[in-house]
Chains A and B, each alone.
Chain A
Amino acid sequence: MSEPVLSACGLTKSFLSGDRRIEVLRGIDLEVVAGESVSIRGESGSGKSTLLNLLSGLDTPETGTLAWAGAPAQGGRRAEFLGMVFQSFYLIPEIDAFQNVLMAARMRKVPGQAERARALEMIARVGLTERARHLPGQMSGGERQRVAVARALMNSPRLLLADEPTGNLDEHTGDAVIELLLGLCRETQTALVLVTHNAAYAQKTNRQLFLREGKLSHG
């Protein structure tokens, strides 16, 4: 078996609410290998988003260790190592779909011909070639989320973290986005951690996990 793309060990996180400390995550162990897809379900407020923020390195755990492809997670590696998709699409409204996708590459270096070609290819992969020059404001929710997916995969990350990517979409559009996500990840051997409330979507992943009382469990 290959080295895990993501390996988290004993992650804990708590928040102060007033003078009470809420223990949101109480020791998370998780390993994901290349090409694997993992779904995480859990009640609202169970800490799924908090967990993804730890896995992405945007937030720091109180205890525990996190490794990306075997090396300690560092903010500087984030752009090349992982991509993220959120419930809200977070596209930059001033620039068109193509430039939004290219932005992911721009964060790493000044984009050249290769990056532009790659961005166009990603746009094509999510089926938006016709819409490449449209501003986010001119697109539907589903189209915007597809742009966000293309952006997340632009840098060919090893890991994709998706936090309720269908939360703002209708069922039909949601299905399409999930199919797209799973398909692209399988194709490119990108590891996927998908947070969702939808059991049907969860079933499509290799492994289904639940977050309960701060711990991950199977089934």
Chain B
Amino acid sequence: MPWYLYLALKQLFPTGRRFPFFTAISILGVALGVAVLVISTSVMGGFGHEIRRWTVETTGDVQVRADDGAINNPAEFLAQLTKIPGVVAATPFAEGYVMLEHGLKPAFPVVQGIDVDRVSGVIPLEHYIHYGSLADLDDDSIILSVQLAMAVGARVGDKVEIHTPLEYEKFKNDEVLVPRELRVTGIFEIGHPALDSSLVLVTLRTMQDLYGRRGSVDGFNLKISPGLDADTAAARINAALPPALHGHARSWMEINHDLIFIIQLEQNMIFFLLTFIIIVAAFSVTSSLLISVVRKTREIGLLGALGGQPRQVAACFCFQGFIIGLGGTIAGFGLGFTVLHFRNGIIYLFTRLTQSEAALARFYQFKELPRYSDPSYMIAIVVCTIVICTLAGLLPAWGAARLKPVEALRSE
């Protein structure tokens, strides 16, 4: 090891000293900044990932809808779709609003008609059904989302009444109002409060009946082959669909474009703002190293007398900044990942103490804090921290290199 690197290490970690105070404090300062960065970008990344999960797992990778409302020839449409290379599976859906009543409690969910045979190829629905099963869904039954089921007090096996806008039409024609009665065969929970409180699933045929749609659907959810980018796939589908079908495909990213954009923006802003924590920590490193240069003036003069070159003396101090940056990064990642690992326990404690569990779920739409440590952010954190800390050593290094050995040795 060249002498200046050796000396840099020794100044940070002097021989025989267990706990070099200056070094520990400097590294800790940087580490705290890094930990905060790691935690917040990971949690933000987790939000992004959750959005991806629940959109892809509820609408598929790509969704195709008709340009003008309903698709009246779903069989033909489906045949065309499945012919397109890259489309692994497709399932039709039809949706609308209904009033659901159980006991005397009403709810106004979105009802989605699904093709029980096809849906599993696109959306892992069974995975989210906690009570009952998808296989039991027939034309006289319904699957409720968990929050909604709780709100109206319905359980598997109970009967619920469904009122649709169609009844209103009948009412105008003086017909008798007969709400549709459906049996609850399952309850699902996706983990997203909005979906978990306002969605119910029925068969496609039931949905068509409820709305009097005579076989039309609203669109198709598609699964595309793994590895294929959803945007590319959507573009390919748009190019391949016969114009006569008037279909338009959109990827899950396009559908959630605004949300994804905002999350990305927030993630970037957080990264940008929190980088200042590291800059502040770096300033304290600079001032400590400056003090050390002043304190060691005579030794630095001696290094010159022993034959050290000014740029080597400078390297010695820059390297100290680098080591602090490196140590801070490692410690910060350790700390950050530890906190992330126990994040739910920590959040739980926090919300218990502040009694804000409900608020958390309501505002952030999550019951558990998601986490995704995007490698590109992690790399950016490492690089920024080390660069900033090395730069922090620059001013002291320059000061040290400027010292003339003769004057340094003369100084008292």
Measured in the bound complex, the distance between the Cα atoms of B301 and A59 in whole Å is 12
B15 within 8 A of A: yes
| Docked complex: A76-95 residues within 8 A CB-CB of B | 76, 78-80, 84, 86, 88, 90, 92-95
Which residue of the partner chain, among A96, A104, A107, contacts B15 with CB atoms under 8 Å?
Answer: A96
Which residue of the partner chain, among B11, B307, B410, contacts A107 with CB atoms under 8 Å?
Answer: B307
A58 within 8 A of B: yes
Question: Which chain B positions have C-beta within 8 A of A58?
Answer: 304-305, 405-406, 409
Q: Are B307 and A106 in contact (CB under 8 A)?
A: no
Q: Across the two chains, which residue of chain B brings its CB closest to A106? A: B3
B10 within 8 A of A: yes
B103 within 8 A of A: no
Question: Which chain A positions have C-beta within 8 A of B406?
Answer: 53, 58-59
Which residue of the partner chain, among A76, A107, A135, contacts B3 with CB atoms under 8 Å?
Answer: A107
Which residue of the partner chain, among A76, A84, A94, A95, contacts B305 with CB atoms under 8 Å?
Answer: A84
Report the tally of A-B residue pairs with Cβ distances under 8 A.
Answer: 65
SS class, residues of chain B in contact with chain A = helix
Question: Which chain B positions have C-beta within 8 A of A86?
Answer: 302, 409
A156 within 8 A of B: no
Measured in the bound complex, the distance between the Cα atoms of B16 and A104 in whole Å is 21
How near does chain A come to B319, taking the closest CB pair, in angstroms? Answer: 14
| Docked complex: B132-185 residues within 8 A CB-CB of A | none
| Given A95-B10, A107-B308, A108-B307: A90 in contact with B3 (beta carbons within 8 A) | no
A16 within 8 A of B: no
Question: Which chain B positions have C-beta within 8 A of A151?
Answer: 306
Interface residues on B, range: 20 to 34
B6 within 8 A of A: yes
A103 within 8 A of B: yes
Q: Are B299 and A95 in contact (CB under 8 A)?
A: no
Q: Are B304 and A99 in contact (CB under 8 A)?
A: no
Measured in the bound complex, the distance between the Cα atoms of B303 and A108 in whole Å is 12
Measured in the bound complex, the distance between the Cα atoms of B306 and A151 in whole Å is 9
Measured in the bound complex, the distance between the Cα atoms of B6 and A49 in whole Å is 30
A114 within 8 A of B: no
B223 within 8 A of A: no
B298 within 8 A of A: yes
Question: Which chain B positions have C-beta within 8 A of A190?
Answer: none
Question: Which chain B positions have C-beta within 8 A of A104?
Answer: 306
Q: Are A94 and B15 in contact (CB under 8 A)?
A: yes
Measured in the bound complex, the distance between the Cα atoms of B304 and A79 in whole Å is 9
Q: Across the two chains, which residue of chain A brings its CB closest to B305? A: A84
Question: Which chain A positions have C-beta within 8 A of B405?
Answer: 58
How near does chain A come to B189, taking the closest CB pair, in angstroms? Answer: 60
- Of the candidates B299, B306, B406, the one having the most CB atoms from chain A within 10 angstroms of its own CB is B306
B1 within 8 A of A: yes
How near does chain B come to A106, taking the closest CB pair, in angstroms? Answer: 4
Question: Which chain A positions have C-beta within 8 A of B16?
Answer: 96, 135
Q: Are B299 and A92 in contact (CB under 8 A)?
A: yes
B interface list, Cβ under 8 A from A: 1-3, 6-7, 10-11, 14-16, 298-299, 301-309, 405-406, 409-410
A interface list, Cβ under 8 A from B: 49, 53, 56, 58-59, 75-76, 78-80, 84, 86, 88, 90, 92-96, 99, 103-104, 106-108, 110, 135, 151
